[in-house]
A and B are shown apart, each in its own frame.
Chain A
Amino acid sequence: MENVNITINGMPLSVPANYTILEAARLAGIEIPTLCHMKGRNEIGACRICVVEVEKARSLVAACVMPVSEGMVIKTNSKKVMESRKMTIELLLSNHNRSCLQCVRSGNCELQTLAFEFGVEDAGRFDGAKTESTEDTSAAHLIRDNSKCILCRRCVAACHTQTAVIGANNRGFDTVIGSAFNKDLNDVACISCGQCITACPTGALRERDDTQKVFDAINDPTKHVVIQTAPAVRAALGEEFGMEIGTNVEGKMVAALRRLGFDKVFDTDFSADLTIMEEATEFLDRVQNGGVLPLITSCSPGWIRYCEQFYPDMLDNLSSCKSPQQMFGAVVKTYYAEKNGIDPKDIFSVSVMPCTAKKYEIARDDQSAAGVPDLDATITTRELARMIKKARIQFTKLPDEQFDNPLGEDTGAAVIFGATGGVMEAALRTAVDTLTGKDNESYEFTEVRGMEGVKEATYDVAGLKINVAVASGTDNAKKVLDAVKSGEKNYHFIEIMGCPGGCINGGGQPIHSQAEWATIDIKGLRAKALYDQDASMPIRKSHQNPMIKTIYDEYFEKPGSHKAHEILHTSYKAQTNTIK
């Protein structure tokens, strides 16, 4: 790409010709503010916060969509620009529910930050008609409050590559973000992925907060409260405390959970290993005994909900394994309860997940191995951070502590579950050893790593040719499934995650501004934290986890046993009633 010469605030600059003014200004060390812009996903130039002055242009131009051209002279912070931006902020505030004190996004709200930076003194300067506050509380995972919506459409763009169940309805001042025929989210084909929440610049979309439920359980002396933490949480939780993106905070997270008062701090990694044992067994059984192929992973409840609604004819392809969260919950209320002589009814089982769909998953049918729900509450990474802050635990100063035993043992295979391709790689590590009957040296299946939406590979395992595919984000899942249905592709094993990039980019993860998303490889850094941990671990294969061996010896007998099926597996139902 050739360069063009431009001037920004008097400084000459040579920038690639396909850059927008927004991107060019970054080269000059200037971050032009935006609200509606999402690089490559929502480039609509609608919010007018990013306006700049361009010599000879008739009016201010939107930097996020205006390409640079030879000789362009740009002013990014002239008086005219600053006044225009400030007035735009004031106009947005004029129809904004300014209950910032009670808002979950206070301190991490892009509109609030701008209002502060631009010195808005009277937020009500242009007050007039207000959009009626219509809260949608129908979904298990999120709450939408349109009185805080600024109509930037970032959630719509985030949903567009998922299930596209939300959009802008009506016109003019009546415009609201909602679903077809004003249906509640629970009545449309929403998969609870929460990608809309992490895209929202304000508090219009937020997760359903379950932290009080958890605090109440901790404070209830009759309850034995255990918590499990998903792999992806440790790769992102530190961001909530100002730590660098990609810092693995496993030890500090465990320390914080102990200080919050959980009786036992366990690791979902353990049940990720258990999932691999069951799923690899299921896979080999299907391959060797002519079962339904391709086998598709079932760890991601967003993906499961997508499959049940959009591909009900492929439910037999899904692994019957519960997700690691649910397996863990089931093990806690059966094996662990029996072993420790605790009535499952007295256990309050909590999970901390990078995921909002987990809030939906815990209430699914066929998820109560001990006759009580496998899980009692699930909180997101963000909610855990909120609890830690509320308890005034000084996270960054905590020592690194270890998970409790026995359900805190894990392997490198389990840790990488949090990134797209991780489950596939973990399953391959175990499948290869099982098929060859020996402890193979080759741990790493790098073809299935990385942030591409669809990855494919073929492995020759003990003479057996295995075609695998990995997809993350439901638009990529659709591509893979359609290729399978049309006969174009012949896979044996597919990993699908509902969120783009897998759990490390789940809808429950810390929220970042679009400026950060545009300039930092957030997904890649979080994934790297997990792959680095995997590489540093003494045991990197699920079947070599000593506690896994113990639990099969003492309790489940062998992978795929009758007891394992009763406790660790589940079932699926077509969901045809929702509006798509």
Chain B
Amino acid sequence: MLKKISTLPFDGTPEQEAKLVEYINGIRDQQGCLMPIMQEAQAIYGYLPLEAQQIIARELEISVEEVYGIATFYAQFALTPKGKYNISVCLGTACYVKGAQALVDRITQVLGIAPDECTADGKFSLEACRCIGACGLAPVLTINDDVYGRLTDKDIDDILKKYE
């Protein structure tokens, strides 16, 4: 699947950059250091925006394309930020047959974001995930660490209100 690229402005801080550079300095001589550096960058920024990839490229003296090629190859790397509240809707087999797609559709309708997108205010992000091992609660979604099960699309509005 093609990764979505965030259109939100970059809001990284000098402190975040310093933290990333410090991490790179500690690991740069190791062979294969690029992957852990990208993981660290994602931990710092929440995703891998162009600006973060440029820092990595600059520090390792490689091209941004080399970083980007890897960022788009592995599912673990995101090019869109996570919101303060990350909504993860399970689209695994059990949840899907129980109507999880309707949950996604309703969230998209209410918040105006599709999967792998983040609201402009940075509050909510939406992602589709595969089985989280709670099939007995299907269809299920999580918001950060809160789990909601046995849902229909009618429940969505009330759940979202709790996070306002």
Contacts and interface: CB of A to CB of B under 8 A. Distances in A.
A165 B53 CA distance: 14
Do most interface residues of chain B lie in helix, strand or loop, or is the interface mixed?
Answer: helix
Contact of A580 (B63, B72, B73): B63
B144 to A, nearest CB: 28
B120 interface: no
Contact of B69 (A163, A169, A174, A579): A169
Contacts of B2: 170, 174
Contacts of B96: none
Given A579-B50, A580-B57, A170 B72 contact: yes
A167 B62 contact: no
A181 B68 contact: yes
Interface in B51-98: 53-54, 57, 62-69, 72-73, 79
A180 interface: yes
Contacts of A189: 63
Interface residues of B, number: 19
B65 A180 contact: yes
B77 to A, nearest CB: 11
B63 A164 contact: yes
A171 B63 contact: no
A180 B50 contact: yes
B65 A171 contact: no
Interface string A288-313: 00000000000000000000000000
Nearest to B1: A174
A432 interface: no
Given A165-B63, A580-B57, A171 B68 contact: no
B65 A170 contact: no
Interface residues of A, number: 18
B66 to A, nearest CB: 6
Contacts of B69: 167-169
Nearest to B75: A171
A579 B73 contact: no
A377 interface: no
A166 B63 CA distance: 9
B62 A169 contact: no
B3 A163 contact: no
A171 B68 CA distance: 12
A168 B72 CA distance: 9
A167 B68 contact: yes
Contacts of A163: 63
Contacts of A580: 54, 57, 63-64
Nearest to A169: B72
A3 interface: no
A182 B5 contact: yes
B131 to A, nearest CB: 21
Contacts of A579: 50, 54, 64
Contacts of A179: 65, 68
A187 to B, nearest CB: 11
Interface of A: 163-171, 174, 179-182, 188-189, 579-580
21 contacts: A164-B62, A164-B63, A164-B66, A165-B63, A167-B63, A167-B65, A167-B66, A167-B69, A168-B69, A169-B68, A169-B69, A170-B2, A170-B73, A174-B1, A174-B2, A180-B64, A180-B65, A180-B68, A181-B50, A181-B79, A579-B54
